[in-house]
Structure 1
Amino acid sequence: MAMAKVKQNVVIKGTKEGLVFHLDDTCSFEQLLEELREKIEKSHQQILTGPVISIVVKLGMRYVSASQEQQIREILKRRGNLVVKTIESDVMLKEEALRDKLASQMRVYTRTVRSGQVIRHEGDLLLLGDINSGALVMCTGNIFVLGSLRGTAHAGCEGNKQCIIAAHEMLPTQVRIAGIINPVPDGQESEEMARMGFAYIANGRLAIEKMNQLHKIRPELGRFVI
């Protein structure tokens, strides 16, 4: 009669970068620590011996507190050659869920942003008004201005390089997407791009195009811009 296979709460797999520790997310935390200690100190000494090894710990759908995470790290540190790169959980915290929700929302402002005023928004912003010279609008997402952009607009302010800045009248003091700043064009180029233009990143630099090119350059925005 075949013996029942004992479930492992800690599974260790090798990768090109090092080792991945898959920790079961259904057993008790105490059981998890007990098996982790046993494998670190006894049964798996052979594969855990040698030069420095990078470790990724995957928790699955288990949430651990800061103190519990520290307990896992302390056990792994008992072998001096194990370096914990990350401890990853598939659980989304309430704060993370709220941040993602805010980032997916488009906020609508129906006012003019005057000189000296600053507006910051998580997600996309649709402004039904003007951004005057001396004003600053910052968003983690895209900025759409159904009016004149004469001040400073900063889209993707947390690093999203796929964002755009679009305006009915594009005469900004400065436009910035992620960490890239565009020098304000002057002369004929400025006049050509002034009406119904948008700024975006192309080949690592900011470019400005007429609005009728938006569907070609950022087709995914079709659901927001008509």
Structure 2
Amino acid sequence: MKKTQNVLIKGTKDGLTLHLDDQCSYEELKRELNEKLTENQRANKDQPLISVRVKVGNRYLSEEQQEEIKTLIRQKKNLVVESIESNVISKLEAQQMIEEHEIISVARMVRSGQVLEVPGDLLLIGDVNPGGKVVAGGNVFVMGALKGIAHAGANGNSEAVISASIMMPTQLRISDAISRSPDVNGEDDRREMECAYIDQNDQIIIDRLQVLMRLRPNLTRLEGGL
């Protein structure tokens, strides 16, 4: 009877891809992985560093188990782990993903000294006064006057945008980019809803809201976008 292989090693133009069976025990998987990599190392001992992608199918690996797999692979001197890919995630990770893609609607005034923070997109129906601050992991939409600080993409999303009915912030932040207060002569000069985004030069640009249909076509999950 032919023995089932729990570890398949496939060479690609970018390095190696390791396909690990998701049905066998974790300890059995580690043992066979070590054996296969040792054989592969002897056959390729004079090769330079090789990039390795690990695919574990429907197996969930804890952070500790991922580190064990990475350490086992790294012990083979010419192998470098690029990624470990799984088809499954934990309930906590799933909940975090849901929160990060959720639009939180809030109807209130953010006054001086107050901070309003959400994990996903923020839709604020109200004003952000000078000294007030709104922070979102995703986009910031203010249906009112933005006169304080707004930080979108707080988790590192440089594609996030900030929009406001009246755009007069003291500071804008998108991901790690920061913009000073725009030069305006008064509130009456800001007649239409505007948006802020990061351009190709990693600078925050303020423009008409209509440009987002072209610059961020996937901004909403609704048909037709904005």
**TM, length-normalised to structure 1:** 0.83
> What SS is found at the alignment partner of 1:148?
strand
Which of 191, 206, 209 aligns to 2:207? It is 209
Q: Which moved more, 1:53-62 or 1:185-194?
A: 185-194
Is the Cα contact below 8 Å between 1:40 and 1:48 reproduced in 2? Answer: no
Letter in 1 for 2:83: T
Is the Cα contact below 8 Å between 2:119 and 2:138 reproduced in 1? Answer: yes
Which of 172, 176, 196 aligns to 2:173? It is 176
Q: Which moved more, 1:65-74 or 1:198-207?
A: 65-74
Structure 1 stretches (4+) deviating beyond 6 angstroms? none
Which of 116, 119, 126 aligns to 2:123? It is 126
Q: How many residues align?
A: 222
Which residue in 2 is equivalent to 1:47?
A: 43
Which residue in 2 is equivalent to 1:98?
A: 95
Gaps in structure 1 of 5+ consecutive residues: none
Which residue in 1 is equivalent to 2:161?
A: 164
Gaps in structure 2 of 5+ consecutive residues: none
Q: 1:74 to 1:166 in 2, by over 3 A?
A: closer
> What SS is found at the alignment partner of 2:43?
coil
Counterpart CA distance in 1 for 2:13 and 2:186 is 51
**Greater Rg over alpha carbons, structure:** 1
**TM, length-normalised to structure 2:** 0.83
Counterpart CA distance in 1 for 2:94 and 2:73 is 30
Letter in 2 for 1:25: D
Shift of 1:30: 3.5
Counterpart CA distance in 2 for 1:189 and 1:201 is 25
Which of 56, 61, 67 aligns to 1:59? It is 56
1:80-130 deviation digits (Å, cap 9, x = unpaired): 333334333222122211111001111111110010111111111111111
Counterpart CA distance in 2 for 1:36 and 1:28 is 12
Shift of 1:77: 4.9
Residue 19 of structure 2 is aligned to residue 19 of structure 1 = no
Identity over aligned pairs, percent: 43
Counterpart CA distance in 2 for 1:151 and 1:75 is 51
Q: 1:191 to 1:177 in 2, by over 3 A?
A: farther
Letter in 2 for 1:95: L
Q: Aligned-pair RMSD on alpha carbons?
A: 2.8
> What SS is found at the alignment partner of 1:168?
strand
1:18-75 deviation digits (Å, cap 9, x = unpaired): 3222111122224323322332344x45434224333332212112345544553454
Which residue in 1 is equivalent to 2:135?
A: 138
Shift of 1:181: 1.9
